[in-house]
Amino acid sequence: MKDYQYLQQKYLVNTYPNRGLVLTRGKGVYLYDQNEEKYLDMMSNYGVNIFGYNHPYLLEKLSDQLKKLITLHCSFNNDTRAMSAEALVKRCAGGLTQVYFSNSGTEAIEAALKFAVLATGKKKFIACNNAYHGKTLGALSATSGEKYRAPFEPLFWNFKHIAYNNLLELEKAIDDQTAAFIVEPVQGEGGIILPDDNYLTNVRKICDRARILLILDEIQTGVGRTGYFLASEKEKISYDIVCLGKGLAGGIPIGASLVSQKVALKIPKLIHSSTLGGNPLACGGILAILELLDEKTLKKVGRLGDYFIQQLKTVKLPLVKEIRGKGLMIGVELDDKRNEILRQLQINKILAIPAGENVVRFLPPYTIEKENIDLVIKKLKEILNV
Ligand SMILES: Cc1ncc(COP(=O)(O)O)c(C=O)c1O
């Protein structure tokens, strides 16, 4: 057998840490390595594979579309694209009327920032400390953290970073050149940081009063991850711009920037485009995901998330500092040794991912069952020696 790990290390630009596994296929909630060893997937490829692997309905819909038409520039109309845009806009509600399709989360943010400038005529932005919005240059200006930003500073876009959950700082940061405030409904990469009660409702009020736009980055929290289609929908706020990505198209690369009518009217032709954005294959994936993501599934995400958090709280140890989460977006903050715990979980055939400085993050597929969670708890207890 070829040494795929060696080949990947040799021929890929070295921007990723290496987990030392060669995974070659997936089925259900499991990933398999080249020796057919089975790993329980508790991270769904950073939140993408929300219905696990080889889901029959998703496979059927994607292969139907694969045979019909894979790509088509958005200057031509397409049945699947038109229907997926309608279904997505209707599903999000909150005053969103149109969608711009791209191919990744960071691209969805790029579009959102440009649309905010076009809609307001202003170029200053506010984002949060600890925020993650992607690594292309516009999105990187919104992302917080010297480790990603330092070599590229000064960054092109004018961003002020304030504390998450701090309404006073938001009010103070706004001036007459501010276009928008961008925020995650739950901070994901930053370490699963939850908002205070009514945070977004209060943020909305401040943005309205100051006449600036609110950009919600639901790339990690959206598409059912917290037990709601959008994590923000519980607060019933109106939307200006909402960004989605990750699992929205069933694993086909996708970014979506949804806008209100007011914003849409200010976006001229040709100002922003993407050859592959809105390709019918990804749009077929969106249609299938929206069908699969029914009320029953969303309730299950909420129920399993509560169960997972409750069980994690039984893993009481000096090393565990805090357990935080919403739905199936869960973080275990440790005092120390996060990477060692991730390594031990992997040795025990369970895949989780890091977040923040010391958080073990679980973003499992929505198709996991209680027994999968019980296994994770059992193994965590063994690893942490309780
Ligand atoms: C909240 C948030 N925004 C943006 C991104 C960037 O998405 P992508 O990696 O698809 O560019 C991510 C990725 O993890 C994310 O979690």
Give the other-Cβ count within 10 Å of 9's Cβ: 12
CATH code given to domain 57-292: 3.40.640.10
Distance CA 205, CA 62 (A): 41
Distance CA 250, CA 223 (A): 10
Report the pLDDT value the prediction gives residue 156, as an integer from 0 to 100: 79
- Annotated domain spans of the chain: 4-55+295-384, 57-292
**Ligand 1 atom 9, closest CA:** 105
% helix, strand, coil for the chain, step of 5 = 40, 20, 40
Q: Are 36 and 346 in contact (CB under 8 A)?
A: no
Q: Is the CB of 132 under 6 A from ligand 1?
A: yes
Which of 219, 254, 363 to mutate to test ligand 1, by most ligand atoms within 8 A of the CB atom?
Answer: 219
DSSP secondary structure string for all residues of 211-233: T-EEEEE-TTTTTTTTSSSSGGG
Q: Is the CB of 362 under 6 A from ligand 1?
A: no
Distance CA 240, CA 259 (A): 6
Distance CA 70, CA 54 (A): 19
Q: Is the CB of 105 under 6 A from ligand 1?
A: yes
Task: List per-residue pLDDT tens for the chain, 386 residues long.
Answer: 899 999 999 999 999 999 999 999 999 999 999 999 999 999 999 999 999 999 999 999 999 999 999 999 999 999 999 999 999 999 998 999 999 999 999 999 999 999 999 999 999 999 999 999 999 999 999 999 999 999 999 997 899 999 999 999 999 999 999 999 999 999 999 999 999 999 999 999 999 999 999 999 999 999 999 999 999 999 999 999 999 999 999 999 999 999 999 999 999 999 999 999 999 999 999 999 999 999 999 999 999 999 999 999 988 777 889 999 999 999 999 988 899 999 999 999 999 999 999 999 999 999 999 999 999 999 999 998 75
Crossing angle for the helix pair 295-312 and 370-384, to the nearest 10 degrees: 20
Report the pLDDT value the prediction gives residue 178, as an integer from 0 to 100: 98
Q: Is the CB of 133 under 6 A from ligand 1?
A: yes
Does residue 154 have a cis bond before it (omega within 30 degrees)?
A: yes
- Tokens at residue 275, please? 């050859």
Report the pLDDT value the prediction gives residue 386, as an integer from 0 to 100: 55
Report the pLDDT value the prediction gives residue 315, as an integer from 0 to 100: 81
Report the pLDDT value the prediction gives residue 367, as an integer from 0 to 100: 98
Kindly list the distances between the CA atom of residue 244 and the CA atoms of 2, 53, 89, 253, in Å, as whole numbers in the listed order: 37, 21, 12, 11
Q: Is the CB of 323 under 6 A from ligand 1?
A: no
86 — phi, psi (to 5°)? -60, -45
Q: Is the CB of 356 under 6 A from ligand 1?
A: no
Distance CA 214, CA 115 (A): 12
From ligand 1's centre to the CA of 222, what distance in Å?
A: 11
Q: Is the CB of 220 under 6 A from ligand 1?
A: yes
User: Tell me, what amino acid is at 190?
Assistant: G
- Helix, coil or strand: residue 86: helix
**DSSP state, 193?**
B
Distance CA 186, CA 50 (A): 18
- Alpha carbon 180 to its chain's center: 20
From ligand 1's centre to the CA of 383, what distance in Å?
A: 30
Atom of ligand 1 nearest to the CA of 217: 1
For the entire predicted model, the pTM comes to: 0.98
Domains 4-55+295-384 and 57-292 share a fold: no
Atom of ligand 1 nearest to the CA of 107: 11
From ligand 1's centre to the CA of 318, what distance in Å?
A: 32
From ligand 1's centre to the CA of 141, what distance in Å?
A: 14
163 — phi, psi (to 5°)? -70, 140
From ligand 1's centre to the CA of 245, what distance in Å?
A: 7
Distance CA 235, CA 250 (A): 27
Which residue's structure tokens are 């490829």? 45
Report the pLDDT value the prediction gives residue 157, as an integer from 0 to 100: 84
What CATH number does domain 4-55+295-384 carry, 3.60.10.10, 3.40.1190.10, 3.90.1150.10, 3.40.50.1100? Answer: 3.90.1150.10
